[in-house]
Amino acid sequence: MTEQADSSASIQRSADTDAKLSRIVETLAGDARLQVDAVSRPHPLLVLIAKPDTAIVLTLASVWEKNRELLKPFADRFAAGTAAVVLLGTPKGEDVSQAARAGLATLLSESPTADELHLAVSRTLELLDVRARANSSGKWLSRYRYELGELLNIARAVTTERDVNKLLELILQKSRFITGADAGSIYVVESDEKTPKLRFKLTQNESREFDSREFVIPMSNRSIAGSAALNKKSINIADVYELPAGSPFGFDKSFDEKIGYVTKSMLTVPLISQRDEVIGVIQLINKKKSPESRLHGKQDVDAQVIAFDERSEELLGMLAAQAGVALENAMLYSEIQSLFAGFVSASVEAIEQRDPTTSGHSRRVADLTIGLARFVDSEAKGVYRDTKFTNKDLRELEYASLLHDFGKIGVREKVLVKAKKLFDEKLDLIRARFDFVARSIEADVLARKVRALEKGAPKAELDALDRELAERRAELEVTFQSVLNANEPTVLAEGDFKKIEQLSRETYHDLRGDVRRLLEEEDVVSLSVKRGSLTPEEFDEIRSHVSHTFKFLSQIPWGKTLKRVPQIAGSHHERLNGSGYPNRLRADEIPVQSKMMSIADIYDALTASDRPYKKAVPVEKALDILGFEVKDGHIDAELVRIFREARVWEKIEPLPKSSVFR
């Protein structure tokens, strides 16, 4: 009897609970003041009041105490703050503050009135809305901070890159990153001709690998990129295969067909310079829901690709503004580099036109010096193991090497190209003197012959005068030949030098009867040069080209990365023992770049094609001479060792694109 009574009571309580929750559902559903989407019973012990983004779970306090597993399906929403619990009754032994952290919003009586229900649900929904707005603001703020940080990083990256091609790759990569685009392309405006055109420079695609080449299209409204450039406005297309009616542009499907790709959404933005000129276009393709996904076919595109939203357009617009300025600066930097390259090219050409016998010397010295620098850079031991050269260092060294002889522009041209010991006009004057002496001798002998004929001299006497004239002419010709021999830029034999010394004392009478020297003092000095063709004064003039080089190059604003060009170029004739010129620097005062250039300069001067004053020296002989220069304390032994062992002259590599001529 007792067991039956208890069982009936339990059933009665279950039936009461069900009836109570049913009345609550009916009351809430009929409350017009509550703006909710639905009121339902997902479980016999739960009532769910739902809105689009928030929800309330109403249940008994006993469920909270003993059967909280029923609330597990809503745990994530409780944690996210988009759902809350309202209890009928007060749970026993529960810390209310702790329960609030677990999702509890408020407590009601076990049998609430309609007004109590309305008030509890309204306040809870307001609380959830406040939380939702707070969470949204927090997420927006976090996203804003993240995007701002990324834009700052991108701005830093694009403004520090000076290579135009690398910058274009970076701009496209960052554009795709901040918008979630699968692919993209960049065009650059070419306005050299009357009709501006767009040059397709590069493309990137995460889902397809393919070879692309540069090509040019007209900048017109017929293409999407051309229209964006002409109108200086971005174009956002949700599906390029369903363009809006009346669009002036079309979509070329051949690219998709060629590589097996499906283009859908597209965002095209012009790159505008500080002068408000369009200099390029960014075209992004296929914004993805998940940036990590790959689009292998139309099914993937349909599942993953969405239109570029307003935020993507804003972000790309901000990046494009930065990128446009950065690209303009990079182009200006490239123009400045080209300007420098043109200046150096013209300077080298000017030098070689003044001294054609050394044609190509500056280029070869630059190649040899850069080649040696690369081997020095790779040294793992020895005194130069820590010496390293960046690309900027190599460009600085290249400019210095190409211009190391530019100071020859300040040396008299006839000294630069002096192939013989006497200048041509000097030799012509000496020839004229010898001709005058020959005519004088002839006149004297003929006058004597006339007087002999007048006296009726015998034939033997007349024949003797003829022989005397022939002998004196031959002697004079031999003497002049000794001058010609001495004029050659070779080491004189002792006998030849004595002939010049003897000849320096020979005199003749001019038409006025004054005594003249057959050779002027300066002629004797020139003909007495025992090595080469230059007198000491002329050699000093040639040596002065280094000072001219330094002074001239020092007047050029080379900038921070090239500031050492004058010093490097102006020190290539310094010697380790202080015997060099122009400043007699010692080993520790000479830049290592100049030490390398000295070796290259000497080697090329020895091995270059025959010049009027010397013949080309074989490589091994040139290396021996470099060894002698080391023993004399002129050039660096370790650098010569590297030069010899690496055989730099055989392994000259092409210089980078930044090079003046390459």
Give 10-residue mean pLDDT values along the chain (662 residues): 43 73 90 86 92 90 88 87 89 73 85 90 88 68 62 68 81 86 92 81 90 87 93 93 88 88 94 86 93 89 92 84 80 80 84 78 93 94 93 93 89 82 91 91 90 89 90 90 85 62 85 88 88 85 89 90 93 95 94 97 87 78 95 96 95 55 41
CB atoms within 10 A of CB 368: 22
What is the H or E stretch that residue 507 is in?
strand 507-509
Strand 278-288 with 266-272, pairing: antiparallel
2-133 fold: Rossmann fold (3.40.50)
Residue 225 exposure: Cα atoms within 13 Å on the Cβ side: 25
The Cα–Cα gap between 45 and 62 comes to: 10
Residues sharing a CB contact under 8 Å with residue 314, sequence separation 6 or more, in sequence order: none
Query: What's the Cα-to-Cα distance from 24 to each of 30, 44, 125, rounded to whole Å?
Result: 10, 13, 17
Which runs of consecutive H residues, i.e. helices, occur in 193-235?
224-231
Confirm if 630 and 643 have CB atoms less than 8 A apart.
no
Q: Within a 10 A sphere around the Cβ of 337, how many other Cβ atoms?
A: 15
Structure tokens at 338: 């080209």
pLDDT at 369: 97
What integer pLDDT is reported at residue 143 of this predicted model?
58
The residues, any chain, with a CB within 8 Å of residue 46's CB and separated by 6 or more, are: 57, 58, 59, 63, 70, 71
Instruction: Provide the residue type at 453 as one letter.
Output: L
Helix, strand, coil percentages, rounded to 5, for the chain: 55, 15, 30
Residue bearing tokens 């054609």:
356
Sequence-distant (6+) residues with CB within 8 A of 530 are 491, 492, 497
Give the class (CATH, top level) of 355-415+541-650: mainly alpha
The separation between the first and the last C-alpha atoms of the chain, rounded to the nearest angstrom, is 109
CA dihedral 390, 395, 396, 402 (to 10 degrees): 150
Burial degree of 419 (CB within 10 A; 0-12, 13-18, 19+): middle
Please report the pLDDT score of residue 6 as a whole number.
44
Q: Name 229's Cβ contacts closer than 8 Å, sequence gap at least 6.
A: 187, 189, 198, 219, 270, 278, 281
Closest CA to 263 of 188, 182, 206, 198: 182
Rounded Cα gap, residues 149 and 140, in angstroms: 14
For residue 476, report the phi and psi dihedrals to the nearest 5 degrees. Answer: -65, -40
Backbone dihedral region for residue 244 (phi beyond 0: left; psi -120 to 50: alpha; all else: beta): beta
Instruction: Check: pTM over 0.85? Answer yes or no.
Output: no
Beta bridge mates, 60: 88
DSSP state of 570: T
- CATH, domain range 163-333: 3.30.450.40
pLDDT at residue 213 in the model: 86
Q: Using an 8 Å Cβ cutoff, are 120 and 86 in contact?
A: yes
Give me the residue label for tokens 């408020």: 106
Which 3 state secondary structure label does DSSP give 177?
helix
- Please report, to the nearest 10 degrees, the dihedral formed by the alpha carbons of residues 136, 142, 148, 154 taken in order: -120
